[in-house]
Each structure stands twice: as C-alpha cells, then as structure tokens.
C-alpha cells in the first residue's frame, strides 16, 4: 500500500482507533489458535501440525482495510469496547471461514492461518483452518460469558447466527459450481447475484448489533448497513473488471460479461473464438465498457463513505472521493487509475 493511501486512512480519527483494535483482534485470535492447533503427544515428528509465527504484514493496514472499516462501524454505533472487541474477533473468524471456503472452491491458497503441515497441503490446511475457526468461536464465546460481556443465551444466539448469515452467500457460490450455462442480465447480476455474493458479506459485522444491541439508533444502523452493502457490491464490480478472463474461462457470474452478452458486444465473439489466458488483463481491451463501470463503482464507494461520514466519521466530501479512489489500487486495478 502506498504512503498516500495509508496517510488518507490514518487521517481519520475513528479509523485510527478501529485499526488499533483490529490489530489487537488478530493478535488475540492467533494466540487462541496457537493453543488449539496441537497434535497429540507421541505423534511422529513428520506428522505434527502446529502454527508458525504469523507474518508481520498480517496486522498491516493494507491487509485490514475492510476489517478496519467494519470495526469503525461499532464506534459509529456507540457500542462499548468489550463488545467491539468481541464482534471484531467474530469478524475475523468470518474471514477465516470465507477465505478458506474460497480457497477450496477456487483452488487458491490465500493466507488464512499460519498452519504448518507436511507436504504442500493446500486443501487440508483450509479444512484445518475451518475446523480451528469453529473451535475458536466456542472459546471466544465462553470467554465472553465468563467476563459478563454476554449471557449464555446471547452467546447461543451469536453462535447460531454465524452460520445463518453465511448461508445465502454460500448458496449463491454453490450455484456457480461447475460453471453457469446462461448469463443473466447486468441488473440481475448487480442487484441479486452480487448482493448475495459480496454485499451480504459486508453486512456480517452487523450480526451482533442486529441480534443483541437494544440501545442503538435503528435508523442509523440501517443506514450504515445499506452503505456497507452497496460498498461491497461496488467492490465486487471492480473485482469483475479485474477478473474478466478468469470468470470467462470458469463460467462464473460477472457484471461486465453480462453487459457484453446482453448488448451483443463484438468483443464477446473474440473471447469465444480465442479463449484468453486466465491471468489476462482484458479490461484494458474494452475501456468503453470497463471504465464507466469502474467510475460508477467508485461513485458508489464514495457515497458509502459519505453515509459513514454523516453518521460521525467526520470525513470531508473530497476525502470521501479520495478514499474511494484508493480502491482502484487496493483491488489491483492500478492500470485504470488515471482513467477513472
């Protein structure tokens, strides 16, 4: 992440406080995980499983922009520190569950937990990560009960809720397994597919406030929920622009590919005649389609920041736009930076 982007985020007081809390969350969760991921005594050394030391960049701002944004929402809702820390830990477990599942579905190996296992173990590390996150949830809720942060009834509701809120997004991902056969309209992709695929993931931080918090302003909460939902959908559009080649080859939903299909754009015939390499940067070849979509996504992100600012973030409108524009670089679309 550039110094310019870091300076923008650090210029906002609530973001600074939320980032410090997020760093503590990661440290606490890794400490608990280290006490859980242990093989039984007597296991042959070549089959031992444990946690390595986490890389230093794990707690960097660049890896925690979204988590910092989520943590800042708890400040805007005037939630006390003990529950902010609790909800932050649960949010980190959501990252473990979702990233591990994505790694399994997409044959990727994005960092989750520093699990040391024999062999390349790409798949099994994801399985162990998911199993570990489940045990961590139990530990975190038990500690919250012991510290009177939660009642046992509240802990049970949170435990069940962590599965319930993920199921719609999981079902959407399941619908793409094996590839899609038809491309739905761009509006359907934007307002249904991407709402479930990514938008709802940006509402995961509201699980605790929705289930347990009685004293917060319901209108403010709904406004912030909608802002983050739209933020997530906009980020998914930017992902679609970046992942055009991959989504074409793997027959996955993609907003840009739906635009090409429904508008009978001649570029689609080129793709069908000569399928691209999965890493190709196709968005540069159809700027008349991708640049307007990227511009709209940036406007939507800026509007979301505007809603957060109105709720207490104290972010000038110009800085809302600047922060929104940073996601062009954050989401690996730096080659569009001067076009949008």
> pLDDT digit string (tens) for 80-135?
999 999 999 999 999 999 999 999 998 888 988 999 999 888 899 999 999 999 99
Taking only the tens place, the pLDDT of each residue in 194-240 is 999 999 999 999 999 999 999 899 999 999 999 999 999 999 999 99
135 CB-side CA count, 13 A: 14
pLDDT reported for residue 39:
94
- With pLDDT > 90 as the criterion, what percentage of the chain qualifies? 84
- With pLDDT > 70 as the criterion, what percentage of the chain qualifies? 99
Q: Judging by beta carbons within 10 Å of its beta carbon (0-12, 13-18, 19+), is residue 189 exposed, middle or buried?
A: buried
Calculate mean pLDDT across residues 250-279.
95
Q: Are 238 and 327 in contact (CB under 8 A)?
A: yes
Query: Would the pLDDT of 282 be above 80?
Result: yes
User: At CA 96, angle to CA 93 and CA 98, rounded to 5?
Assistant: 105
User: At CA 283, angle to CA 277 and CA 284, rounded to 5?
Assistant: 100
Q: Are 245 and 283 in contact (CB under 8 A)?
A: no
pLDDT reported for residue 23:
97
Q: Judging by beta carbons within 10 Å of its beta carbon (0-12, 13-18, 19+), is residue 325 exposed, middle or buried?
A: middle
pLDDT reported for residue 249:
95
pLDDT reported for residue 9:
85
Look-up of token digits 């969350």: 25
Taking only the tens place, the pLDDT of each residue in 23-82 is 999 999 999 999 999 999 999 999 999 999 999 899 999 999 999 999 999 999 999 999
Query: Would the pLDDT of 4 be above 80?
Result: no
pLDDT reported for residue 1:
65
Residue-averaged pLDDT of the chain: 94
Query: Would the pLDDT of 307 be above 70?
Result: yes
pLDDT reported for residue 338:
67
Helix axes 287-308, 218-242, angle to 10 degrees: 160
Q: What tokens appear for 297 in the block?
A: 């996504």
Task: Count other Cβ atoms within 10 Å, centred on residue 217.
Answer: 12
> What is the band of 10 on the pLDDT scale with cuts at 50, 70, 90?
confident
pLDDT reported for residue 176:
93
**In the 8-state DSSP scheme, what is residue 118?**
S
pLDDT reported for residue 237:
98
Query: Would the pLDDT of 337 be above 70?
Result: yes
Calculate mean pLDDT across residues 247-257.
97
Helix axes 218-242, 255-262, angle to 10 degrees: 70
């Amino acid at each position: 992440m550039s110094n310019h982007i870091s300076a923008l985020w650090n210029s906002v007081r609530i973001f600074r406080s939320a980032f410090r809390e997020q760093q503590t969350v990661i440290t606490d969760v890794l400490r608990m995980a280290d006490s859980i991921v242990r093989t039984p005594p007597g296991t042959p050394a070549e089959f031992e499983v444990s946690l390595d030391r986490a890389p230093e960049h794990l707690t960097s701002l660049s890896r925690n922009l979204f988590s910092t944004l989520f943590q800042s929402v708890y400040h805007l809702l005037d939630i006390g520190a003990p529950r902010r820390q609790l909800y932050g830990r649960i949010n980190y477990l959501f990252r473990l569950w979702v990233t591990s599942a994505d790694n399994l579905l997409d044959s990727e190996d994005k960092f989750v937990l520093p699990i040391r296992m024999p062999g390349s173990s790409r798949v099994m590390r994801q399985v162990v990560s998911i199993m570990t996150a489940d045990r961590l949830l139990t530990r975190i809720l038990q500690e919250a009960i012991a510290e009177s942060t939660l009642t046992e009834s509240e802990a049970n509701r949170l435990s069940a809720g962590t599965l319930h809120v993920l199921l719609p997004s999981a079902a959407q991902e399941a619908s793409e397994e094996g590839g899609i056969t038809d491309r739905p309209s761009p509006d359907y992709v934007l307002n249904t597919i991407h709402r479930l695929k990514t938008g709802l993931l940006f509402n995961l931080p509201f699980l605790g406030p929705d289930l347990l918090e009685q004293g917060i302003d319901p209108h403010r909460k709904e406004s912030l929920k909608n802002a983050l939902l739209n933020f997530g959908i906009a980020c998914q559009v930017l992902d679609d622009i970046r992942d055009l080649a991959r989504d074409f080859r793997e027959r996955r939903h993609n907003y840009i590919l739906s635009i090409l299909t429904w508008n009978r754009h001649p570029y689609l015939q080129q793709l069908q005649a000569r399928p691209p390499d999965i890493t190709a940067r196709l968005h540069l070849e159809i700027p008349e389609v991708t640049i307007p979509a990227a511009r709209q996504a940036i406007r939507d992100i800026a509007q979301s920041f505007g809603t957060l600012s109105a709720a207490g973030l104290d972010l000038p409108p110009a800085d809302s736009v600047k922060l929104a524009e940073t996601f062009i670089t954050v989401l690996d679309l730096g080659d569009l930076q001067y076009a949008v």
